[in-house]
Each structure stands twice: as C-alpha cells, then as structure tokens.
Structure 1
Amino acid sequence: MSPALSKPPLPRRLLARYLLLLRMRPLLTKAASSAVLSALGSLLSQVIERSRRKPGTSKSLDLSGPLRFAIYGFLFTGPLSHYFYLYLEQLIPPDAAFAVIKRLLVDRLLVAPPFLVLFFFVMNLLEGKDLSAFTEKMRSSYWAALKMNWKVWTPVQFVNVNYVPLQFRVLFGNLVALFWFAYLASIKKR
C-alpha cells in the first residue's frame, strides 16, 4: 500500500490538528478560529447581499469588512468567550441547583447586552468613525440587534453552556456565529 493511501482523510487530519492545538494553546486556537469564522460570516453577508442585487449591478467584495470582523474575533470574541466559559463553569458548576437555567440567564441577561455594545463600539473604532456615529448606531440598531440576539442565541446558548464540553464551547458558538456575524454585518450596513 502506498503512503498516500494510508493517510487518514483530510477532515480527520484537520480535526486531529485542531484538537492538538486546542490542548497546547487553547486561547490562541480559540482566538484564531474566532477570527476565521467571524471573517467568513462577514464574507457570507456580502455574498448574500450580492445575490439580492439586480443582474448587472455586481460589486466586488470588500475585504476590509472581513478584516475588521477577523480582528474583532481574534481580539475579543475568542479570548472573552474562552474566559467567560471557564468562569461560568466555576461560578455555576453543573451540579448546582437550577444550573441549567442559571447559566443561561447569566449569559443572556448579563453577558449578551454588554457584549453587543462592545461589538458596535469596536466596529465603530475599526471603521474610523467618531463617537457620534457610535451613538447613532446604538440608537438605531442596538435594541433590534439585542432582541434578535435573544431569539437566535438563547436556544444555542442553552445547548452550549449546558451540554457542549467546555473545550468546544467557543468553537460551537463560532460555528453558529458564522451566520450571526452575517446578520450583524448586514444590519451594520443599514
């Protein structure tokens, strides 16, 4: 049998590499995966927007948006989520009374609202806009985005904080966030 035929399939090799990196450098691995998936979410938003346009009005992809989302994912989403899930595990252990509900409430009511403010603030800075633009974005989009966050993320986070193994919670959230960031990127353009 040739060496090429004895290699495991590519997805299995990638998973093994990811698991190794997750063990060796969990924070960096989660930050990098957040960056990649956040950027892909922004690209997905552009692809969806392009598909809705009339034929002949094609516009090239703007790579500055995915770059901003990658920066946000790498510096904020990955690291903050990593530490949040570790802290939540200590704050409300799985065997605590009503742990399933308490964990969800902490995430949805105490973490989600300021995390969304952070998103709008950082994106405002990365776009080079002033404080008045941030204030206007908060006034025009925050409440709608928060309500959508609660609708979309509540069932996801119920599963994530209660049933997904701790080391995979950031990745699980990032996979769902791929579509969430596509949504956020689309409302940032409104």
Structure 2
Amino acid sequence: MVVERKEDIDWRRNGLFTFFGFAYLGCFQYWLYNDLFVRMCRPITAAVGHYGAAPVKTFIDQCIHHPLCYFPAFYVLKGSVEGRSLNSSLEKYQVDMWENCKALWMVWVPAQLVNFAYVPQHLRIPFVAGVSFAW
C-alpha cells in the first residue's frame, strides 16, 4: 500500500502470491531440492562427495529449473493478477528472461552453492526464504 500508494489491500493479489509462496516456493521446491535433486545427483555424490555435487545441483536449479519452470509460473501468476492473458504473460517472460537470469545468477549461484554444500536438507527452504527476503 505504501510503495504503490494504494488505499486498500488487494486481497486477491495477496491470496494468489501467498498461495504461490506456499505451494511453489515451499512445497514444490522442498521436494525438488530435498528429494529429486538428491536422487538425480546420487551417483555424483557417491563419486565425488557431497561438496562435489553442490555445483551440479546449482547448475540444474539455476539453468534449468528457474528459467524453464519458476519464471514461467511466476509470470503467468503475475499476469493473472494484472489481468493479462496467458500468451501476453509468456511473451513478457520471454522478453525479460535474459535480464532476469543475469540478476538471478548474481545472487543465487553463490547462495545455492552454499545451500547445497553446507545447509542441512531440512533447512534448505528456510535458507532460500532468508536469501529471498534479503534479495
């Protein structure tokens, strides 16, 4: 309300972004980081150790997951809140993708290297939430 100089709270917008935070950033990413990435990287972890698998997990997260899953989902949700069509939202995603990735990688490549190398599995999503809040 302060930043956008609005008099009323947009409860629909709040609800959609709260749901996105819970469902995607909380539940889906918890499964992604703590189940799927662990299973996918098990042979790498066995060969080079836990710290050796962290760069692979970071690469998968930053170069596959975010550009191809997270950003499209976020743009579709944001477009829905703003009243834009699905096609318009995805076009905006495509136009913005490279700039988004550059900004993402400046913060999240080092953060995810730390996350996957040093943070215990059960604290990975709280760590991501803390970095997100600061970012």
Give the letter aligned to residue 155 of structure 1: P
Query: Which residue matches 2:61?
Result: 107
Query: Which residue matches 1:116?
Result: 71
Give ranges in structure 1 of 5+ residues lacking alignment: 1-45, 51-57, 181-190
Cα distance in 2, alignment partners of residues 66 and 169 from structure 1: 25
- Structural RMSD (CA): 2.3
Structure 1, 128-137 or 160-169: larger mean CA deviation: 128-137
Larger Rg: 1
Give ranges in structure 2 of 5+ residues lacking alignment: none
Pick aligned residue for 2:116 from 151, 161, 174: 161
Pick aligned residue for 1:141 from 71, 96, 116: 96
- Asked if 1 retains the 8 angstrom alpha-carbon contact of 2:41 and 2:53, the reply is yes
Cα distance in 2, alignment partners of residues 100 and 142 from structure 1: 24
Percent identity over the alignment? 26
Q: TM-score, normalised by structure 1?
A: 0.57
- Asked if 1 retains the 8 angstrom alpha-carbon contact of 2:54 and 2:117, the reply is yes
SS at match of 2:27: helix
Give the letter aligned to residue 110 of structure 1: I
Give the letter aligned to residue 86 of structure 2: L
Higher RCO (C-alpha under 8 Å, 6+ residues apart): 1
Encode CA deviations 1:138-158: one digit per residue, 9 max, x unaligned. 244222112111111111111
Pick aligned residue for 2:16 from 68, 92, 103: 68
Pick aligned residue for 1:172 from 121, 127, 135: 127
Cα distance in 2, alignment partners of residues 179 and 127 from structure 1: 25
